Chains A and B, each alone.
Chain A
Amino acid sequence: MHSDPAEVHKSVRSYLIVFGALLVCTLLTVAANRLQFAVPLAITIALIIATVKGSMVAGVFMHLSHEKQAIYGALLLTLVFFIVLLFVPILTVMDRVRL
């Protein structure tokens, strides 16, 4: 194995920090839900927190913060198609309105 132990120990520290942050964010999501905001605001808050949590998992646990170009390229393409996919329902709703 060719790994610098100091580097690995540094990574372990960041994993534990992210673990703590993920737990706090989970509790924040539940707490925000208890406040019973209006539905659009509640959705926005919950999705913002989920996106922050998802970014931490992808960036730190999946090492996306320092990955190779090939992976970024593949993920960028996926993101484009993912956004198109999410907009399909909106197009169908607009279609219904026009009818």
Chain B
Amino acid sequence: MNIPYTVEARPDTGLHNGKLGVWLFLASEVMLFGALFSTYILLRVGAPEWPHGELSVALGTVNTIILISSSVTMVMAWATLKLNQWSRHRVYLSLTFLLALVFLINKYFEYKEHLEAGQGPWHDTFFAIYFTLTGLHGLHILGGMIVMAYLLGPGAKLWRKNPDQFTNRIEITGLYWHFVDLVWIFLFPVLYLL
């Protein structure tokens, strides 16, 4: 049995089901991170003083550049499929995966440094919200990497069988990945700079 509307658009929405599904998922993600940003505001407004300079701006900037670059390689992975350039697509998707890995490695060293200095989530309100927000974001990075690994590995077979459906899968993976980048774009100034 074929699942309908995996490639062709539904007549009522004008979208294939995967794309609509991912956008609805992203809407729920906005509410999830929105709740945590809201918590951040509440904690910050209620705190008699808020720490500054606790985090490495240089490392945060590098990670921001890494995630922005990964968004570009992700969108290029989709565009090269549209141009039927399979090997280039593989390069771009692999690059996205590697950039995500570098981001997490940086985060590991950052966490390690703070934990060794006794600045865990228990240390104060700032570190509690810092670890909560960046930890949840890190889990999203990991989730994206698992999907990319699947699309680079066993999931890549679909390209031969149904290239349009594979391209759609890359597109919706990209939507998720750009959202993860977008969340970091707000996390960086809020946690590292302000």
Contact = CB atoms under 8 A, between A and B. Distances in A.
Interface of A: 1, 3, 5, 8, 11-12, 15-16, 19, 22-23, 26, 29-30, 33, 39, 42-43, 46-47, 49-50, 53-54, 57-58, 61-62, 68-71, 74-75, 77-78, 81-82, 85-86, 88-90, 92-93
* Closest 8 pairs (CB-CB, A-B): A89-B42, A46-B189, A3-B82, A78-B27, A70-B13, A68-B14, A33-B193, A61-B178
Nearest to A43: B194
Contact of B15 (A11, A23, A70, A88): A70
B109 to A, nearest CB: 20
A29 B194 CA distance: 11
Contacts of A29: 188-189, 193
Interface residues of B, number: 50
B42 to A, nearest CB: 4
Given A57-B185, A85-B35, A93-B42, 9 more contacts: A5-B83, A26-B61, A33-B189, A50-B186, A61-B75, A61-B181, A78-B30, A89-B38, A89-B45
Given A5-B83, A33-B57, A93-B46, A75 B23 contact: yes
A6 B11 CA distance: 27
Nearest to B15: A68
Contact of A58 (B164, B167, B182): B182
B194 A22 contact: no
B182 A54 contact: yes
Contacts of B24: 74
Interface of B: 13-15, 20, 23-24, 27, 30-31, 34-35, 37-39, 41-42, 45-46, 57, 61, 64-65, 68-69, 71-72, 74-76, 79, 81-84, 163-164, 167, 174-175, 178-179, 181-182, 185-186, 188-190, 193-194
A61 B76 contact: no
A10 B167 CA distance: 19
Contacts, number: 122
Contact of B193 (A16, A30, A75, A93): A30
Nearest to B29: A78
A61 B189 contact: no
A69 B83 contact: no
B71 A88 contact: no
The DSSP consensus for interface residues of chain A is helix
A30 B57 contact: yes
B94 to A, nearest CB: 18
Contacts of A69: 14
A54 B79 contact: no
